[in-house]
Structure 1
Amino acid sequence: MLALAAAVSFGIALLFNLFDASLGEITESTLVVLGLLLVALHLGGVGAGRSFSTRSWGRRARR
């Protein structure tokens, strides 16, 4: 989910760049930094719920 939000952020930043637009303090670079933060959180495992390793460990313990 965070990766999807990062992709949207990068897409909006691209549009800002193409049209030389900004929304007050929210500029193209702000959206790029937001996208990088979301990608870092995604790669760090934030918002992933239960991990696959936890589920597989639970199955092995039951055998």
Structure 2
Amino acid sequence: MSPRKIGCRTHDSKRNGTVCLYTAFDTLTGEVTGKVTDNQRSKEFLSFLKEIEKKTPEGYELQLSLIV
């Protein structure tokens, strides 16, 4: 691949070594909570949401923005 050519994905490409990054940003305190997983399944995502829910004080709302 030449330096000027943008990489392309082929039908048989593998995503070896990729990970999923989940982050949450508390706009009030500026605290960032993150989690890195090897798999991209709903199980990992739900465990991250439960972790954030435990850290959220009673009476506060969570707003989600998903970037895929």
TM-score strictly above 0.5:
no
Of structures 1 and 2, the one with the larger relative CO (CA 8 A, separation 6+) is 1
TM-score by length of 1: 0.29
Higher share in helix = 1
- Indicate the structure (1 or 2) with the bigger Cα radius of gyration: 1
TM-score by length of 2: 0.27
Higher share in strand = 2
